[in-house]
Amino acid sequence: KAGVTQTPRYLIKTRGQQVTLSCSPISGHRSVSWYQQTPGQGLQFLFEYFSETQRNKGNFPGRFSGRQFSNSRSEMNVSTLELGDSALYLCASRLRGDGMHEQYFGPGTRLTVT
């Protein structure tokens, strides 16, 4: 079974631009969560989607948004990029959305904002 895939793997953007990251979960998994990982803050929860509905949202500004499609693939968008948005963005999928099952992480998208 194929794992979680994320595209692109690396991205360099300029302040003020916007970016869209994509995540394809493991086949059959309906829950997709997004995290931002930085050396100083660790993994910070962005949001979770289940069956195209956002179930939870972390403490990030409205510049961060996401969506999930009917095939469970998910995208996240960051508008008006800031230098502090430079981070590794990880998505994770799980079979069920009950929080009691392990998450399977993708390799991440390394975003650099200059």
Partner 1 sequence: GQNIDQPTEMTATEGAIVQINCTYQTSGFNGLFWYQQHAGEAPTFLSYNVLDGLEEKGRFSSFLSRSKGYSYLLLKELQMKDSASYLCAVSIPSGGYQKVTFGIGTKLQVIP
Question: Which one of 7-15, 63-71, 74-82, 101-109 is the stretch in contact with partner 1 (CB under 8 A)?
Answer: 101-109
For the CB of residue 15, give the shortest distance to partner 1 in the complex, in Å.
Answer: 26
Out of 30, 65, 86, 104, the residue judged to bind partner 1 by CB under 8 A: 104
Identify which of residues 41 and 70 has a Cβ nearer to partner 1 in the complex. 41
Tell me the C-alpha distance between 12 and 38, whole Å.
16
SS3 39: coil
- Between strands 74-78 and 64-68, the pairing is antiparallel
SS3 2: coil
Contact by Cβ (8 Å): 11, 110 = yes
- Residues interacting with partner 1, by CB under 8 A? 4, 33, 35, 41-45, 48, 50, 55-56, 90, 92, 97-108
